Structures are given as structure tokens and as C-alpha cells.
Amino acid sequence: MTVEQQTFNPATVLMHDAKNGYIPNVYSDLVLDDFLHESVVTKLGKFIDMGSDTEKEFQHQLNGPGAYWVAEGQRINTTTSEWATIKMTSHKLATIVPITNEYGKMNQADFFDMMRPQIAAAFYEKFDKAVLLGIDNPFTQSIESIVTDEDNDAVVTTRYANKIDEEDVLALEDLLTDKEIDPNAFISTSKNRSMLRKARNNNGVDSSEVYDRTSKNIDGVATAELSGVERGELYLGDWNNLFYGVPAGIEYKISEEGSLSTVVGSDGQVINLFERDMVAMRVTMYVSMMVLKEDGFAKLEQGTEVAGDDYGKQVVVNVNTGAEEIPAG
């Protein structure tokens, strides 16, 4: 007599009976799907398939072969492409989610379906702020560290404090286009919307072409918004130079003991799991990133000069003197 092997079914397994391991593939894939669709880095950067490896080397072409004019019977010159060996190293990203003990009585299917958005949000918010803003960053690079490196000359300062004008945006774009780099996206923040709507051009006239309220694009260039970017700051770049990878799966472990030193309750005290009849779920995944061409990015920062009373008034040129004047009234 044979015993039929049972197939693992997360819909019938309670969380109390599966306190650690990998999140089942169907739910792990959904977490990754949320992560990839909501992260600013993954929206703009280029994905590198790392499989299950936390380190990966690959060849990337820096410069392609050239071409030559050739006369009849003349020997054709040959050129070689320039390649570089790129090595991406992953770092572990983790989040701890405190939950009431009642959730342990749920089956895995319902539990991970409910927790999926929270897990994904914790991961992509941390990843984005590390890669883009250099906040709590384990990688050797960040966009912030690259653009603020004094050797890169990649920062533009606005004309006035607490304002973004058309010429500020154009100067930021010129930093890259002058190097024949074609930027494909800005990174801004929702806090910049009012400033961009009030943008002026050199003649002091409202510049409706700077900001599109419907698409939220700046000067016709795609724009992503990221919380954590300071008001009045913009990042611009060719994001094809930003690579990222997400190797391996997503692991979890549930604990019923200990205290969460970084989490406090409504009483201001750290949460003791046993005392509060709670459990904590630790979730981990690996992520990697690399910026290939560091001169492909630039940043707009706020100036310190306060705009005078004439800010926003139209400037005209006196045909007799050639001087710029502000009309009365």
C-alpha cells in the first residue's frame, strides 16, 4: 500500500505552524512585483538578472566601434569596442513587522496577501532613499554622493531661495547636454509642485512650459517623485546608467519573544512581544545597485539670495539705452 505525497498548500498552512522559511513563490513574486512597480530606482534604472547569486560579474560595452570613409581599393581600418567588467554586490535588506498574535491563526495565503503591500513599501522606500539620497546607504555609491562630489561639477544653485525658475531648470539640463548626455528623467518631490507652478522665465513672465500639471513632467522630461527629496531640489540624469538587481528569494521568520528596541507603543515604551501577546515577523531580501557613468547625473539646489519686490514682474529692454527695465505698476 502506498501513501500519496501531499502537495504543500499555503491556503491550509497556518502561520503558527510555519514560523520561518521562504515566502511561498506566488506571494514572494507579488511582493517583488509591488517592489519593482513602486520603487523609483526600479522604474528608472536598468534591471540586471542576477539569478540567485548575491554577486555577479558581467561585461558592459562602454564605446562601440567606429566607421570610416573608404575610397575604392583602400584598406578599411578596424576599431575595437571598449568593454568593462562590472561587478555588482548585493546587500541584505530587512524589515520587522509587529503583528498581533491573532494573525498567527491565519493561513499563509491570507496572511501574506494582507501583508504584501506593507512589506513591499518598507523595502522600496528604504532602497530608494539609500540609492538616490544616500540615506543609511550600504553601497559604495549613491546619486547624492555622486552629484555632490566636488570633482564632478554637477550641482546648479537656483537664482533665489525658495524658488525654482525656468532658467534654473535649463541650467540643470545644460550641465548634462553640454557633455552630450541626454537626460531622460527628473526626480522631484510633491513639495516642489507649487514652486514649479510659479516658475518664471528670464523676463519675469510666468513660464507655463516648465511644469505640466497633468503629467507632472518638467520641461517635457519624465519626472518621478520621491519623498525625502528636500523642497526646492531636483535630480536629473540618464538613468540608463543606473543598474539594479534583486537576487534570491524573500525569507521570513516569526518570533514570539523579546522586545523591539526600535518600535514603541502608544505609551512610549518599547514593545515586549510576550507582554503584549504579539509576534514580530522579520522579512529579508537582497538588492544590488551600481552607477556605471557617474557624470550622467546632476542636481538642483536652493540658493540663498532672497528675491526682491521686482520678482515676477516683466522685464523689457529700452530701445534707446539697451538696458533692462521693469515697467511701472
Using DSSP's 3-state secondary structure scheme, residue 262 falls into: strand
pLDDT tens per residue across span 92-130: 999 887 777 776 677 777 777 888 888 999 999 999 999
Q: For residue 17, is pLDDT > 60? A: no
Instruction: Average the pLDDT over 225-242 and give the result.
Output: 96
| Phi/psi-derived region of residue 286, left when phi > 0, alpha when psi is between -120 and 50, beta in every other case | beta
Domain boundaries, the chain: 15-61+82-314
Q: Which of 42, 86, 41 is CA-nearest to residue 61?
A: 86
Enter the CATH code of domain 15-61+82-314. 3.90.1690
Q: Which helix (H) or strand (E) holds 195?
A: helix 193-197
Residues 280 and 254 sit within 8 Å (Cβ to Cβ): yes
Q: Rounded CA gap, 199 and 207, in Å?
A: 6
pTM of the prediction?
0.80
Span 141-174, pLDDT tens digits: 999 999 999 888 999 999 999 999 999 999 999 9
- Taking CB atoms within 8 Å and a gap of at least 24, the contacts of 308-314 are 310/204, 311/160, 311/163, 311/200, 311/204, 312/200, 312/204, 313/204, 314/203, 314/204, 314/205
* Closest C-alpha among 19, 12, 18, 49 to residue 32: 49
Q: Would you state the cell numbers that stand for residue 48, as one nine-digit string?
A: 540586471
